[in-house]
Amino acid sequence: MYKENNKLEEQIIQQTEISDTETINSLGLCLGASTVSIVHMEMKSSETKPRIVEFSLHPHEGNPKQTLLTALKNFDLKS
């Protein structure tokens, strides 16, 4: 029984070490009455608060769909 518990503890420690370096990325979109807003946020598992990587605001002049498509093409999603 002790050996089984010890193996389980080792597996949990290994999983924790792997997840400590994990980064969660999020993309926020807002299609408002006059603008399209985009924000790229990330949070590392070792941090307590997310940080804003990049954001942009685009007036859509009545065409939010095309503005969103154009904005996403110009937005750096790889960072």
pLDDT on residue 13: 54
Q: Round to the nearest angstrom and report the end-to-end CA distance of the chain.
A: 47
Cβ atoms 35, 59 nearer than 8 A: yes
Q: Is the pLDDT of residue 79 over 70?
A: no
Whether the Cβ atoms of residue 58 and residue 24 lie closer than 8 Å to each other:
no
Percent of the chain with pLDDT strictly greater than 90: 52
How would residue 18 be classed by pLDDT, with cut points 50, 70 and 90?
very low
pLDDT-based confidence at residue 66 (cuts at 50, 70, 90): very high
pTM of the model: 0.67
